[in-house]
Amino acid sequence: MGAVRDGSRDDVRFLDEYRDAAQAGAYARALRRVTARPWTIMEVCGGQTHAIVRFGIDELLPPQLTLVHGPGCPVCVTPVELIDKACEIAAQPGTMLCSFGDMLRVPGTRTDLQAVKAAGGDVRVVYSPLDAVKLAAAHPAAQVVFFAVGFETTAPPNAMAVWQARRQGLKNFSLLVSHVLVPPAMAAILGSPSNRVQGFLAAGHVCTVMGYREYEPLARRYRVPIVVTGFEPLDILQGLVMCVQQLETGRAEVENQYARSVRREGNLAAQRIVREVFRVVDRKWRGVGEIPESGLGLAEAYAEFDAERRFGLTAYTAAEPTECLSGLVLQGVKKPNECPAFATRCTPEHPLGATMVSSEGACAAYYRYRRPVEAECEREGL
């Protein structure tokens, strides 16, 4: 993307190229030049939302351009009933529930995993699903369950964990699966009567795995530009310029801003292992409801590794809390600070919904980077 190095420091090789203030200013000016009419663009991925708020990218945008935050935060869209199931499993003696760290604070119906852990449940934070496989091999008397949450990005390593567990003949390893897929969620947003999204920044890492062929029919069918975009400030600004150029000229194509990582066909080996272990299933999204064919579950050949079956939890369902507006936030209909509970009854210490928990959640990002300034401005009538 032709970024120049800052030159004043010689110790950073791979980040500052994409965080350069002068380049950011140049992209911001370009964006103002190309934007003539009002447009609403959604960044799909929570990692992009976090970067936008963390670096203040939205403050560089022309006034006609509105960014809305998408559903691409895996923690945020995991339905409350799956948190309940994880808590139920973790509370059983002889089980070890392994999870990525940010699931621990997500509220279920009555409790969360960190409280289950404090009450004696064996909850372990791991950094890779393969660590959970190792734990299962090392503790044959325990039932080891990995909480497999995430989009297409985490599906290949989770599939690999199951594949390895079978190869090692492990009978005490299973997955509590809550995998979701991006394109069906984008289709659901575009098909909703309350939709106001006119263009997308697609999630760069998801496309690194899956490629972007499956976005082409979406762009055609709904006549929306989709730009596969990275996560650094300059990536996001360049993605916005490309998206607005399409909108202004009436094009609706899939373009690839994140070419340093993404190929059209994606990572074929990763896709193969996902197809081997998982199958496409209907999934509930927190705050949104059930979306057909929007997630992954274990394929029939790997059903023995399904924790819901092993622990008899397949039939359990739970209603979402009513006060939390995260469903509307995740569909880009509301901004976090438009929620009456924001920063009052809902805080990172006591979240009503997952969007207030995860570092990629839109509400948490607003709380962390925006709250005091905005609250003060309101008080001072600014």
Q: Which of residues 99-128 bind another protein (CB under 8 A)?
A: 100-105, 108-111, 114-121, 125, 127
Q: Give me the phi and psi of 192, to 5 degrees please.
A: -80, 140
Task: Determine if 350 is a binding residue for another protein (CB under 8 A).
Answer: yes
Q: Residue 41 or 45: which CB sits closer to another protein?
A: 45
Stretch that binds another protein, among 185-193, 260-268, 296-304, 362-370 (CB under 8 A): 362-370
Minimal distance, residue 280 CB to another protein, in Å: 20
Residue 265 CA to residue 171 CA, distance in Å, equals 35
Element (DSSP H or E) covering residue 284: strand 278-285
Minimal distance, residue 105 CB to another protein, in Å: 7
Nearest to 172 by CA among 210, 205, 133: 133
Nearest to 281 by CA among 318, 256, 257, 308: 308
Task: Determine if 141 is a binding residue for another protein (CB under 8 A).
Answer: no
Find the helix packing angle between 46-55 and 362-369, rounded to 10°.
Answer: 10
Residue 357 is encoded by which pair of tokens? Answer: 């928990």
Identify any residues that bridge with 42 across adjacent strands, giving them in sequence order: 68, 200
Task: Determine if 129 is a binding residue for another protein (CB under 8 A).
Answer: no
Among 5, 25, 140, 263, binds another protein (CB under 8 A): 25
Q: Residue 99 or 246: which CB sits closer to another protein?
A: 99
Identify any residues that bridge with 150 across adjacent strands, giving them in sequence order: 179
| 3-class secondary-structure state, position 144 | strand
Residue that has been written with the tokens 């909108």 in this structure = 247
Task: Determine if 146 is a binding residue for another protein (CB under 8 A).
Answer: no
Task: Determine if 223 is a binding residue for another protein (CB under 8 A).
Answer: no
Minimal distance, residue 167 CB to another protein, in Å: 21
Contact 254, 200 (CB under 8 A): no
* Residues near another protein (CB under 8 A): 11-16, 19-21, 24-25, 47, 53-57, 59-60, 74-75, 84, 87-88, 91, 100-105, 108-111, 114-121, 125, 127, 149-151, 153-154, 205, 233, 347-350, 358-360, 367-373, 376
